[in-house]
Amino acid sequence: MRVLATLLMLLLVTGCDTKNSQRTEVVQTESGPVQGLMMDGVNAFLGIPYARPPVGELRWMPPKLPYNWSNVLPATEVPPHCYQSTFGITRGQEDCLYLNVWTPGLRPGKRLPVMVWIHGGGYTVGHSYESTPGQHLAKRGDVVVVSMNYRLGALGFLAHPELSKESSYKGSGNYGMLDQIHALKWIQRNIAMFGGDRNNITIIGESAGGMSVCNLMVSPLSARRFHKAIIQSGPCFTPYPPLDFMERQGLAMEEALGCSDSEDVTLCMRSKGPDDILDAMPPDPGLAFGEESDYWMPTIDGSILKEQPAKSFAEGRFEKVPVINGNNANEGEIIVMFSHEYRFAALDAEDYPARLNYLVRSDDKVPLVLERYPLENYEDPGAALSAAFGDHTFVCQEKFTSDAIARHAPVYSYYFTYPEADFILPEMRELGAFHSAELQFLFNEPMAWFESEFSGEELTLSHNIMDYWSQFALTGNPNGKVDHPWPTYNENRQRLQIDLALGHTDAAESDEICNFWHGLMNQEFIE
């Protein structure tokens, strides 16, 4: 474990060399002047505060505008992580609500499209810059790229009856989601000063970031704050817990922090350090497979999220903008590896049914899944779980989301299948086109120890993805830069297959398996 922890720290502690970098011009934001640095010929502004530090009495409160400043603020350092723990490694701080801006030119002849990146990490980990710096995409795509931190885990999604009473919204929780909306408002007000077009904003995210894109598409609070959306491996039909469940979880936090006998419970809870919060109810060590009963994610509060996103999409209550939506061929393998091999507990055949039970939440349904994904058809139980998890959580949820959105807005669906993408940590399973593998090509940032840039066919793959995505940000249609056509999903449910050679797949190929899962999937959250 000590070797693994060292490798993770080397991976997770990222930054950029700013000592000898040329500085940009000074840009005046609504809160004060900022000056960035040049990265690969692109103006980069790192660590701009978009909200006040959510500490003290502002913990578990909606974000507020940052304090103004008069002196030039150096925007040259990678911002801190929001407080989090990865495999037992704690990092970050509560004062973390910063964003980054990469722009090809501060005074272009015309305003450039804006691409707003929302990182993934299961709503408990992640960072706005880590392995996804925006300078390459900004330069290649001639777009302005913005990324933001948002509050995570219990600090970002804890609900509590007393917090609900004091809230200006209905209910509590969803603070990380409010951060994302607050950042979009900041972008609308300030992005013109960085050369961006406030009337051409594309939100884009992967995994929990992709789910966040879906949340923003259905929330009334983010209406008309963006114009296009890109969902990458976002299981947007996953049901969220109701407010009363999350408030009961908040009461458990209250007790774990020793605040139950306090005259002012919220004052007591806010007086605790972030490490106390994390230690009281840490994130689930099983990652996607639910070994604990604690959930740190958005809640259906009736205000920020009025209903399950799946219902909003199915019934046409969402922001009807052009959408790119897709997933990868081997989504489950890396999740299985993190949950099992990386914890030195490879999945046994005896434990396989329990993992499947987490997907369907029903002892009666497990035999049906065992029949569909029998162990004898796979190399090992982990491969069987990966197949079931990938189909249930990604393949079919992408299909359900695309089918629903396509009834109201243009959809471009993709299937990323390149099997040789690098992973920077030891591969204790055959990963294939793993969950998040496409990101290194979108941001032109190889996930390898001794490879600083792509070459050959992999460079072409990276350019194709960047060109499709940036063209979509410009016009709402990804066609125009890459020779290979990308048909709309609306026409005949064709998907773009993204590999070294581009091709097409038919969504009908997954109809039979997704009909199976549709009959088993839960539409509402099950405790």
Rounded to the nearest 5°, which phi and psi values hold at 105?
Answer: -155, 140
Q: Residue 53 in contact with residue 174, Cβ under 8 Å?
A: no
Cβ neighbours around 170 below 10 Å, total: 12
Pairing of strands 196-206, 228-232: parallel
Separation of first and last alpha carbons in the chain: 32
The gap from C-alpha 311 to its chain's centroid, in whole angstroms, comes to 21
DSSP letter string over 511-527?
Answer: HHHHHHHHHH--SS---
Q: Residue 179 in contact with residue 51, Cβ under 8 Å?
A: yes
| Residue of 413, 393, 394 lying closest to 403 (CA atoms) | 413
Q: Tokens 């989504």, residue?
A: 331
Quick check: is 455 catalytic? no
Rounded to the nearest 5°, which phi and psi values hold at 280?
Answer: -65, -45
Q: Name the active-site residue from 31, 128, 207, 212.
A: 207
Q: Tokens 């001639």, residue?
A: 142
Q: What are the structure tokens assigned to 123, written together?
A: 């709503």
| Residue of 478, 316, 470 lying closest to 403 (CA atoms) | 316
Amino acid in position 498: I
Integer Cα distance of 84 and 49 in angstroms:
19
Q: Containing H/E element for 182?
A: helix 175-190
Residues catalogued as catalytic: 207
